[in-house]
Amino acid sequence: MCGIVGYTGHRDAAPLLLEGLQRLEYRGYDSAGLALVGGNRDGLVVRKLAGRVAGLVGQVAGEPVVGNTGIAHTRWATHGAPTQGNAHPHVDCDRRIALVHNGIIENADVLRAALEQAGHRLTTETDTETLAHLIEDAKADSLEERVIAALEHVDGTYGLAVVSADEPGKIVVARRGSPVLLGIGNGELFVASDASAILEHTRSVVYLNDGDIAVLTPTGYHIVDSESHVQVRAVDDVAWDLEAIELGGYPHFMLKEICEQPETVRSTLRGRLLFEQGCARLNGLNLAPQALAEIRRIVIVACGTSWHAGLVGRHIIEALARLPVVVEYASEYRYRPQLGLPGTLTLAISQSGETADTLEAMRAARAAGSRVLGIVNVVGSTIAREAEGGIYLHAGPEIGVASTKAFTSQIVALTLLALLLGRQRGLSLEVGQDLACRLAQLPGLVDRTLALEPQVKAIAQEFADARNFLYLGRGVSFPVALEGALKLKEISYIHAEGYPAAEMKHGPIALIDADMPAVFVAPRDDVYQKVVSNMQEVKARGGRIVAVTTEGNGELRGVVDYQLQVPATAPLLSAILTAIPLQLLAYHIAVLRGCDVDRPRNLAKSVTVE
């Protein structure tokens, strides 16, 4: 989704801004631009275009821009097509003010009409442009006061960075519902929507809260609220290295992140397994044992891949802790009446920690009296900060738009929680100890699973031209089927559906023929034989089958066309292994079809609008 980067200091801003935009490219965007102040006799210079940051780099190289203060943006179109005119920064009538904006101004139509009536000339189709004119219109002295005054008229969400030719050296930043952080350097300050844009220059960051207005100059910054009361915010250290956001020899971030999974699963487990007690240590939950004991039901809210991890988690929690779990699409849940049932624990699962629907679902649950925990990857993200506590994945930055390593770590985190809750509720010591050992073995098993890649690649070659796929599984493997189908459709644009294998005969079986490959997720577990019967049903109708199953499963020969055998583990943990060949299959099919794997069309990494 849209990205923001800004700089004020002693250095030439343009190269820093362009480099920051390149670091944000992974978020998904369709146009890019920058504005500089302080180096030009006209005060303000703007360059922008539809297309890639590389184009902007070329444009700036051909027609250099100078200035020590600037803001830049990658846009993911919401209001208005991805054109040069609609790209950010946007300016006021006199081109004295420029701003970049993430989020949505919901009352933009009303504001536009009022501004035009007052004589402003708006030239784009965007909601954002209204902000520049509102600031121009504001009756106040300093830029920050004008921004505060303008924002009083605004409904909606924003992460905003504003510069003015009349106050060169200053950037005013505002946040409501769309993440922004400040980066603190030596005699220089940065603003960014995500730490990766500025990590090369500083690790010290300040995460802004909703309602914060920050004023940056090369000599320092201060933060105020909308009544100009000073706010103090902690300075945090970004824990990961630049290496984590670089390709490191891989052709794509998606493949790199798939291959990182032995290490990311290990990181999610690190220090959390209590082998002797057969339990898990999760200090970040911030819940006393008594509060944990009072939980009567769990509601999981999440979107996309994180929702699929939640479905896997439901099986695991219900099996180990015997607690009822419902898994809700955050976007649906937030608009339903909240029942406020006593003893409810809400778990918000999100890689980015910024997904707008998940955040709002979590807020709605909290307002209805639920305790709320987050299972989040990005440290310091909004969901992580607003939750009472939770479990960080520690999977490192996920840059590939298709979520992979976060999925397996989310399942690991949910299993740790299930183990802890289970041990409080009668799960035996022996079962707990066994599960702790099985969890500790996972990184090695993930490593072995990755060795399937050459086989997966050969299967990808066979099916790269297919137009439809069916993914089938039962029990804990049904959400894996959903996830396999999502991976394939989002990066290769092949239509794919995930279905509970036994439901197939209630309709989708009509689709089966030689042109509709069926991918079965069928590890050896208590529904395995049933799934084999479902395979037979497909086979009988001339369907071609790929089965992801458990090592040593010779009996599928003759039933399926291709087998991908993952190592054996506890059936409840199988999703962590069976998901991996499906990630690889989607990846290789997309590569063979020439798709831009890390930047799939229309998609954004972090969905900060509803």
Q: Which residues are part of the catalytic machinery?
A: 2, 605
Out of 22, 74, 267, 352, which residue is the one contacting ligand F6R (CB under 6 A)?
352
Which stretch in 43-51, 66-74, 304-312, 457-465 sits in contact with ligand F6R by CB under 6 A?
Answer: 304-312
What is the DSSP track for 203-266? SEEEEPPTT-EEEEETTEEEEE-TT--EE----EE--S-GGGGS-TT-S-HHHHHHHTHHHHHH
- Looking at the Cβ atoms of 304 and 380, the one nearer to ligand F6R is 304
- Looking at the Cβ atoms of 126 and 403, the one nearer to ligand F6R is 403
What is the DSSP track for 469-481? EEEEE-TTHHHHH
606 contributes a contact to ligand F6R by CB under 6 A: yes
Compute the least distance from the CB of residue 408 to ligand F6R, in Å. Answer: 13
Q: Which helix (H) or strand (E) holds 597?
A: none
- Looking at the Cβ atoms of 328 and 490, the one nearer to ligand F6R is 490
Which stretch in 78-86, 108-116, 336-344, 347-355 sits in contact with ligand F6R by CB under 6 A?
Answer: 347-355
Out of 124, 126, 358, 449, which residue is the one contacting ligand F6R (CB under 6 A)?
358
303 contributes a contact to ligand F6R by CB under 6 A: yes
409 contributes a contact to ligand F6R by CB under 6 A: no
What does the alpha-carbon distance between residue 306 and residue 269 come to, in Å, rounded to a whole number? 18
- Looking at the Cβ atoms of 485 and 486, the one nearer to ligand F6R is 486
What does the alpha-carbon distance between residue 586 and residue 588 come to, in Å, rounded to a whole number? 6
328 contributes a contact to ligand F6R by CB under 6 A: no
Compute the least distance from the CB of residue 583 to ligand F6R, in Å. Answer: 10
| Sequence-distant (≥ 6) Cβ neighbours of residue 509 within 8 angstroms | 537, 538, 541
Contact 322, 421 (CB under 8 A): no
Q: Using CB under 6 A, count the residues that bind ligand F6R.
A: 15
Compute the least distance from the CB of residue 351 to ligand F6R, in Å. Answer: 3
- Looking at the Cβ atoms of 31 and 358, the one nearer to ligand F6R is 358
- Looking at the Cβ atoms of 126 and 606, the one nearer to ligand F6R is 606
What does the alpha-carbon distance between residue 593 and residue 588 come to, in Å, rounded to a whole number? 9
399 contributes a contact to ligand F6R by CB under 6 A: no
Which stretch in 54-62, 67-75, 178-186, 351-359 sits in contact with ligand F6R by CB under 6 A?
Answer: 351-359
Which stretch in 17-25, 64-72, 349-357, 570-578 sits in contact with ligand F6R by CB under 6 A?
Answer: 349-357
Out of 402, 488, 501, 547, which residue is the one contacting ligand F6R (CB under 6 A)?
402
What does the alpha-carbon distance between residue 469 and residue 495 come to, in Å, rounded to a whole number? 6
Compute the least distance from the CB of residue 606 to ligand F6R, in Å. Answer: 6
CA–CA–CA angle 468, 553, 538 (5° rounding):
30
What does the alpha-carbon distance between residue 488 and residue 466 come to, in Å, rounded to a whole number? 11
Rounded to 10 degrees, what is the CA torsion of 383, 386, 388, 391? 20
What token pair was written down for 415? 């299993």
What does the alpha-carbon distance between residue 104 and residue 101 come to, in Å, rounded to a whole number? 8
- Looking at the Cβ atoms of 305 and 338, the one nearer to ligand F6R is 305
360 contributes a contact to ligand F6R by CB under 6 A: no
Out of 92, 260, 328, 490, which residue is the one contacting ligand F6R (CB under 6 A)?
490
Measured from the Cβ of residue 117, the count of other Cβ atoms closer than 10 Å reads: 8
Residue nearest to ligand F6R (CB): 304
Nearest to 158 by CA among 210, 214, 96, 224: 210
Binding mask 305-324 for ligand F6R (x = CB under 6 A): xx------------------
Torsion sign, CA atoms 517, 518, 521, 523: negative
Instruction: Kindly report the backbone phi and psi dihedral angles of residue 212, in degrees, each rounded to the nearest multiple of 5, phi listed first.
Output: -75, 140
Q: Is residue 164 classed as helix, strand or coil in its secondary structure?
A: strand
Contact 237, 379 (CB under 8 A): no
Out of 156, 185, 304, 475, which residue is the one contacting ligand F6R (CB under 6 A)?
304
- Looking at the Cβ atoms of 272 and 605, the one nearer to ligand F6R is 605
List of residues contacting ligand F6R (CB under 6 A): 303-306, 350-352, 355, 358, 402-403, 486, 490, 606-607
